């Protein structure tokens, strides 16, 4: 490593002190988080009781849902996103690519889907990532496993499902999300569709590059966590509030028997309908989970609403428009077909398991 400027922050003792300070501040913030979180429910009950609305009315129920769920969801999201931001600082797309390059299908699909959860990924990077993977010798199907898992199984979705629907649903979503990514990627790999990439993509022969080591300290990792929170809250904050507001309306006003008859377990066609409905819709987990919770409360079947949620997140039209730059329309159709079939299967399976 080259000798660098001798500013005071490079002095090891100063740096250690600063790290200690950061650590202490983080611990204090986490403790404060738990203290405040424990007070949310009593506070919301107290607040709603003081509102000039009739108790047990539709309006009171909707308000209680909104007043309790908004801070709860925001707080849980902050914690989960922070933790994930720190975890992600240990990974990079380049390192993941090096792990996956030349890997056999099967094992490769499993590794790619799992790494998709922890590798930093933003949708504006999807195209460079796709080309970067394929041109460096990551098999096409393995690349798809990564690209399916990365947006679908994310900390926002898992954190919110855990918060609002419990750990069983969150774990099931994790498991089935991974399964869809692994199987769909494997199936696409079996089809040998490399020829269906856009021609210029096939001609990129860059190979992987070696990046110089960047210095990452513990403080940097904590900062990465904070950065992730700032990023996500700015990006999804309005979605959450909208989602919770929609959830609150459903909660207070939607007639239960109507929803149950449309989205209940009895209606077999509701799962494919949910998948189709989800494709043109574009939201993220933050906006959709509160709606999911409210729908469930009204008797909608879990598999149906989760299929809807997965479809909204994993098969979004904007993402396909981005990917159209590298994939031919035929390949996108195969992608939608295979992933859609996977979501369909998971929807039915969920309905069967969580009866």
Binding footprint of another protein on the chain (CB under 8 A): 2, 4-5, 92-94, 96-97, 120-122, 124-125, 127-129, 131-133, 135-136, 200-201, 204, 206-209, 211-212, 214-215, 220, 227, 325-326
Residue 50 and residue 44: Cα distance in Å, rounded?
A: 10
Smallest distance from another protein to CB 346, Å: 29
Minimum distance from residue 98 beta carbon to another protein (Å): 9
Q: Which is nearer to another protein, 1 or 35 (CB)?
A: 1
Structure token pair of residue 353? 């398991």
User: Least CB distance from residue 286 to another protein, whole Å?
Assistant: 19
Complex with another protein: residue 134 or 165, whichever CB lies closer: 134
SS (H, E, C) 239-290: HHHHHHHHHHHHHHHCCHHHHHHHHCCCCCCHHHHHHHHHCCCCCCHHHHHH
CA distances from 147 to 30, 36, 132, 158, 174 (A): 32, 37, 12, 17, 15
In the complex with another protein, the residue whose CB is nearer, 172 or 326, is 326
Contact 311/274 with Cβ under 8 angstroms? yes
Q: Nearest to residue 279, comparing CAs of 213, 335, 229?
A: 335
Closest approach, Cβ 121 to another protein, in A, equals 8
Give whichever of 209 and 355 is closer to another protein, judged by the CB atom. 209
Q: Which of 68, 121 has the CB closer to another protein?
A: 121
User: How far from chain centre, in Å, is Cα 315?
Assistant: 13
> Is the CB of 39 or the CB of 125 nearer to another protein?
125
In the three-class reduction of DSSP (H, G, I as helix; E, B as strand; rest coil), residue 197 is classed as: strand
Residue 185 CB, shortest distance to another protein, in Å, is: 17
Residue 119: CB minimum distance to another protein, A: 9
Distance CA 186, CA 323 (A): 19
Closest CA to 285 of 304, 316, 309: 309
């Amino acid at each position: 490593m080259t000798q660098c400027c001798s500013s005071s922050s490079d002095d090891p003792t100063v740096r250690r002190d600063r790290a200690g300070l950061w650590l202490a501040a983080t611990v204090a913030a986490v403790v404060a988080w738990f203290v405040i979180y424990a007070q949310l429910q009593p506070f919301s009950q107290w607040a709603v009781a003081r509102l000039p609305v009739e108790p047990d009315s539709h309006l009171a129920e909707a308000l209680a849902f909104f007043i309790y769920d908004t801070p709860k969801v925001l707080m849980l999201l902050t914690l989960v996103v922070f933790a994930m931001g720190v975890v992600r600082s240990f990974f990079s797309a380049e390192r993941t690519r090096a792990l996956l390059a030349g890997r056999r299908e099967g094992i490769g699909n499993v590794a790619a889907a799992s790494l998709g959860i922890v590798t930093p990924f933003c949708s504006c990077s999807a195209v460079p990532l796709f080309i970067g993977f394929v041109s460096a010798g990551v098999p096409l199907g393995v690349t798809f496993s990564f690209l399916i898992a990365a947006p679908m199984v994310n900390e926002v979705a898992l954190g919110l499902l855990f918060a609002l629907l419990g750990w069983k649903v969150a774990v099931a979503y994790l498991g089935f999300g991974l399964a869809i990514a692994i199987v769909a990627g494997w199936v696409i790999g079996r089809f040998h569709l490399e020829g269906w990439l856009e021609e210029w993509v096939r001609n990129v022969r860059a190979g992987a590059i070696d990046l110089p080591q960047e210095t990452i300290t513990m403080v940097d990792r904590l900062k990465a966590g904070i950065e992730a929170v700032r990023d996500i809250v700015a990006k999804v904050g309005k979605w959450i509030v909208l989602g919770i507001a929609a959830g609150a309306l459903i909660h207070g006003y939607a007639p239960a028997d109507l929803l149950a008859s449309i989205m209940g377990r009895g209606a077999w066609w509701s799962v494919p309908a949910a998948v189709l409905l989800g494709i043109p819709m574009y939201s993220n987990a933050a906006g959709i989970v509160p709606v999911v919770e409210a729908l469930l409360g009204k008797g909608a079947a879990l598999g149906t609403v989760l299929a809807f949620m997965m479809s909204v997140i994993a098969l979004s039209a904007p993402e396909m428009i981005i990917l159209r730059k590298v994939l031919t329309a035929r390949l996108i159709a195969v992608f939608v077909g295979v992933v859609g079939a996977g979501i369909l299967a998971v929807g039915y399976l969920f309905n069967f398991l969580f009866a």
